Amino acid sequence: MKEEAHMHTACPFSELAPGKAIRLNTSPPLAVIHTKAGGISAPDGMCTHQDSFVADGWVENRSVDGPLHSSGFTLRTGSVDAPPANLPANLPVRSHEVTVIDGDIMITESTEAPNLPPRLTVDGHVRHQRMNPNQRTCSWL
């Protein structure tokens, strides 16, 4: 069964100036980016390598580089910039459909499963590792 797409109201178009980005606290969080060239993109907000918000990094007209290790993602597709692949992030973020309806930026969330960084859950919580004293193994909570 295919999951139904969710539509989110980001903000009025007039309130997101070129060169600015906002975070939507959806599950998982999304980034809404207005490039200096005038394009609006909505990739997943969290880098696929670690728990960091990609739009806190460097936004170019076609890509965004995360703030921690500068891995870049193409805004249109969410793919890791290539060539060459920018490590350490090697999985793409999703890219969501953007429309402007009655002056509001609307995001239709992709129904694909997100590539979340290790230990981050869809609702943005970090799972903590706990040692199981009986089995002497670690498990993620």
Query: Which residues contact ligand FES by CB under 6 A?
Result: 47, 49-50, 52, 66, 68-69, 71, 88-89
Q: Toward ligand FES, which CB reaches closer, 52 or 74?
A: 52
CB of 58 to ligand FES, least distance (A): 12
Apex 44 CA angle, 72 and 76, nearest 5: 60
Helix/strand/coil percent split, the chain, to 5? 5, 40, 55
Q: Toward ligand FES, which CB reaches closer, 11 or 68?
A: 68
| Sign of the dihedral through C-alpha 17, 21, 23, 26 | positive
CB of 118 to ligand FES, least distance (A): 11
> From the CB of residue 114, how many other CB atoms can be counted at a distance below 10 Å?
22
Q: Toward ligand FES, which CB reaches closer, 22 or 57?
A: 57
